[in-house]
Structure 1
Amino acid sequence: MAVGVKDVAAAAGVSVGTVSNVLNQPERVSARTAERVQRVIQELGFVRNDAARQLRAGRSRSIGLVVPDIGNPFFAEVARGAEDRAADAGMTVLLGNSDEQDERQQAHLELFQEQRVNGVLLTPASDDLAAVHRFAAGGMPVILVDREVEQGVLPSVSVDDVEGGRLAVEHLLASGRRRIAYVCGPRSVQQVADRLAGAQAAVDAMADAELEVIEQPSLTVLQGRAAGESLVSRPSSSRPDAVFAANDLLAVGLLQAFSFGGAVRVPEDIAMVGYDDIDFASATVVPLSSVRQPARLLGWTGVDLLLKELDGVDHDRRVRFQPELVVRESSGPVR
């Protein structure tokens, strides 16, 4: 049988209210009494019913976080940053993985609502935000992470992906490359479209440069490998001389396809730049140049925005960070 607050009170010789104060407002109890109650809690193995406490208070100590792919190290870092800031505020983060599916995303949002979380950090699964707006209109604060909407309808923290795409391709052009391929996921994903816009702007500014878009079903290592194998199968004269990958997972798959059998040398035959600068970008077969996003800072700032929303503090509802190009061996020397 589960041990309750009444059992602890009886064993410690105090009132139920005193036990409640020890658990929730220890400053209102003498050190000697608090020590006696805590000792009884340990002896009896009492575990507080936090769910019941949350129902009474109308709010939990939790924050929801929904990301498209927790297998992507970028989103793992976002989650770590969110947990760091939440811990500072005495809260925890509940993680949901949408797998880039609107239905799964909606299921996570509804579950978090039932659990009365304080709010939700969300990297949307798609461009269709109608359900997200309805969810937020119901009174649950939503902070967009790695995404923003026009006119600040929802608070957001993001990175300037147009600038990131431009940085990547300008670097490849500066190294003498002119036939650029952009390997990406679905263009319906806002980040993919923004990085393409930056890449196209860089190519348009160079008279003899051209950009080919190779769109894959998802942003994974396997899809990067598939794109790489299709490039390897082409005659060398029809291949691009540089590839900009929409994220590092795609870039890793491309590197695997290129290195198998030595069909394509990186960067001699094809220079490469990825995006996100995940931890193992520097440890690939050929260390990968990449556009760095402050992943952990995105998560930390997302929770910080949520806390300000909850406290009614004036703050910037749209925070946008600038990306940084990290140059390694995969893109070769600038000519």
Structure 2
Amino acid sequence: MSIRDVALRAGVSVGTVSNVLNRPGEVSAESALKVQQAIDALGYVRNEAARKLRAGVSTTVGFVVLDGQNPFFYDVMRGAEDEATRNGIAILYGNTDENPVRERMYLDLFEEHQVRGLLIAPHGDVQSRLERLRARGIPAVLIDRHSGSGRFSSVSSDNIEGGRLAVEHLIATGRTRIAFVGGSFEIRQVTDRLAGARVAAENAAGVTLEVIATSAMSVAEGVAAGERLLQRPLRERPDALFAANDLLALGLLQSLVGDGTLRVPREIAIIGFDDIAFAGAAAVPLSSMRQPSTIIGKTGLRLLLEEASDPELIARQTVFHPELVVRRSTEPAD
């Protein structure tokens, strides 16, 4: 159904229908009534998205998510969606699943759709690609990643601080043989959390820190890492694990507790990162570094809309401090 059909039904011009929809003050009461009766009779609904696109203002933004299965990113998306709804904006989501090929595909797709702006939790270095989008009038805000260059606005937590606090907590409970579990190391959050962990270990006498690499930040990879640990002789096992996110930590907990040969936290402590909802409900409640996930999403969407309205705004970096949440998985060693 188009406005031509409405105009034919009402016996007026297409221009009159357009004025009733967009500039009703310029139309006589009689013409406006005819048009409204025709709209009601035909069930016409105007294509608001097309109208905004013709006017150069899209009603959608894109959100490229690093891992849509991670509850942390789900909460970030909910925060962004709440802010978008408040502003009459719809969000199109694309989950890259930590895959750079899928990431490029979604960036191309959102560029083709001429979204109003883009939120992105990137896998690797996407600055040149985001520069291209900005040249086409599509601003971008980094989510869960600090903009090292300062060229783009970003909303993140201080991952280096979070890594340091996590390992300092493990050391304070009496642990000295600590392992960092995480990957891939193309993800900036992983390298930053590891950097913070190294600072804490280097500042403590007698503490060692090894790295157990994983190919992804998933429960399955955590389980696999735990199984590899169980194959080691007892004297070669760490007495504490710092997982790069809660999904890895829950996988580690699942494999170690399920096997029964290592007791958590008596023989090995585990701490994660993000403090997702499942952390406190684990078989052994999981200590974690909490991020303000929904606030990160809301803040990112707010910055994006401001930049879409004023391209001359200077890029802003919003950094939140993670909070240590202590539960039973890191109770002091005997």
TM-score by length of 2: 0.91
Cα distance between partner residues in 2 of 1:32 and 1:174? 79
Are the aligned partners of 2:83 and 2:298 in contact in 1 as well (CA < 8 Å)?
yes
Query: Aligned residue for 1:325?
Result: 324
Q: What letter is aligned with 1:324? A: E
Q: SS of 1:150's equivalent? A: coil
Q: What letter is aligned with 2:326? A: V
Residue correspondence of structure 1 range 228-307 to structure 2 within 5 A: 228-307=226-305
Cα distance between partner residues in 2 of 1:327 and 1:175? 11
How well do the aligned residues superpose, as a CA RMSD in angstroms? Answer: 2.5
Cα distance between partner residues in 2 of 1:255 and 1:47? 53
**Judging changes above 3 Å, is the alpha-carbon distance between structure 1 residues 32 and 259 closer, same or farther for their aligned structure 2 residues?**
farther
**Judging changes above 3 Å, is the alpha-carbon distance between structure 1 residues 236 and 88 closer, same or farther for their aligned structure 2 residues?**
same
**Judging changes above 3 Å, is the alpha-carbon distance between structure 1 residues 209 and 65 closer, same or farther for their aligned structure 2 residues?**
same
Cα distance between partner residues in 2 of 1:67 and 1:245? 20
Shift of residue 290, structure 1, vs aligned partner: 0.7
Q: Quick check: 52-61 or 319-328, which moved more?
A: 52-61
Cα distance between partner residues in 2 of 1:256 and 1:33? 70
TM-score by length of 1: 0.90
**Judging changes above 3 Å, is the alpha-carbon distance between structure 1 residues 247 and 44 closer, same or farther for their aligned structure 2 residues?**
same
Q: Quick check: 277-286 or 130-139, which moved more?
A: 130-139
**Judging changes above 3 Å, is the alpha-carbon distance between structure 1 residues 49 and 169 closer, same or farther for their aligned structure 2 residues?**
same
Superposed CA offset, 1:272-296 (max 9, x none): 1100111111111111111011111
Query: Aligned residue for 1:153?
Result: 151
Are the aligned partners of 2:79 and 2:298 in contact in 1 as well (CA < 8 Å)?
yes
Q: What letter is aligned with 1:288? A: L
Q: How many residues align?
A: 333
Give me the identity figure in percent. Answer: 53
**Which of 225, 228, 231 is equivalent to 1:227?**
225
Residue correspondence of structure 1 range 1-335 to structure 2 within 5 A: 3-12=1-10, 16-17=14-15, 19-20=17-18, 23-24=21-22, 40-41=38-39, 43-50=41-48, 52-127=50-125, 129-312=127-310, 314=313, 317-333=316-332
Unaligned runs of 5+ in 2: none
Cα distance between partner residues in 1 of 2:331 and 2:28? 68
Cα distance between partner residues in 1 of 2:35 and 2:308? 33
Q: Quick check: 168-177 or 138-147, which moved more?
A: 138-147
Q: Quick check: 288-297 or 24-33, which moved more?
A: 24-33
Superposed CA offset, 1:241-268 (max 9, x none): 1111000110111011011131221111
Unaligned runs of 5+ in 1: none
